[in-house]
Amino acid sequence: MTSRLEQGSVVTVFGGSGFLGRHAVRALARDGWRILRPSLVFGPEDELFNRFAAMAGFSPFLPLIGGGGTKLQPLYAGDVGAAIAAVCAGQGKPGTIYELGGPEVVTFRQLLDHTQEWSGRKRRYLRIPFWAAKLGALLTLPLPNGLRPLTVDQIRMLQSDNIVSKTAQAEGRVLAGLGIEHPHTMEAVVPGYLERFQPHGQFAHYRG
């Protein structure tokens, strides 16, 4: 499994290792390989929604990296697991790269909007150009990962859209091609685990 980002548009450490891994798999498995390339993955312990919900809990603003227009197609971790299980069970066409994305395409700003809605927060946005965001990531490099807004690699990945290509859709190299017809929406999963970031605590709405 590797990153959804195409090589040649953005170079990252993570993306580069995925590029080398794909070629190694192809060389070793010949025509029997199947490669899964998911978009951003979300779930109860993710570093996507949880990261920004936590940030909204103490920061007066949220960073709108690059203006917030980057397109994303977040995918539930459980659906990624189902795709892996399907491939292990022999589903899918050998010698094929499957591009995995969730049922919704959103911009980075819309993702932050959802995060605030589901965590009960309302923060302003601060537009930060990519170069300034990278500089900030470098300056916070000594800090623990949990205290850093974003890493340099994550910011670089936001410079390109991270969605399933039209070619993959037309050729059936998507979740449906592995038998997963109804992937989970963000709204069906994320509000449940962002509830703990509510201003008055996880069980505030149960109190009288």
CB 36 within 8 A of CB 92: no
Name the DSSP letter for residue 148. Answer: S
Taking the model in full, what pTM does it have?
0.82
* Helical axes 186-194 vs 108-119, angle rounded to 10°: 50
CA 85 to chain centre: 20
Q: Which domains does the chain have, with CATH numbers?
A: 13-198 (3.40.50.720)
The residue written with tokens 């993959």 in the block is 168
> Which string of b and e fits 163-181 if b means at least 16 CB within 10 Å?
bbbeebeeeebbbebbebe
pLDDT the model gives residue 13: 41
Residues of the chain where predicted confidence (pLDDT) is lower than 70: 1-31, 146, 201-208
Residues 6+ apart with CB under 8 A from 42: 48, 49, 74, 75, 76, 77, 186, 189, 190
Tell me what pLDDT residue 170 has: 97
Contact 119, 197 (CB under 8 A): yes
Q: What is the pLDDT of residues 115-160, one digit of tens each?
A: 999 999 999 999 999 999 999 999 988 887 767 778 888 899 999 9
Joined together, the tokens standing for residue 159 give 């410079």
- Tell me the backbone φ, ψ of residue 41, rounded to 5 degrees: -105, 135
State pLDDT tens for residues 32-46: 788 999 999 999 999
d(CA 21, CA 160): 21
User: What does the pLDDT read at residue 143?
Assistant: 81
pLDDT at 154: 87
- What pLDDT score does 12 carry? 37
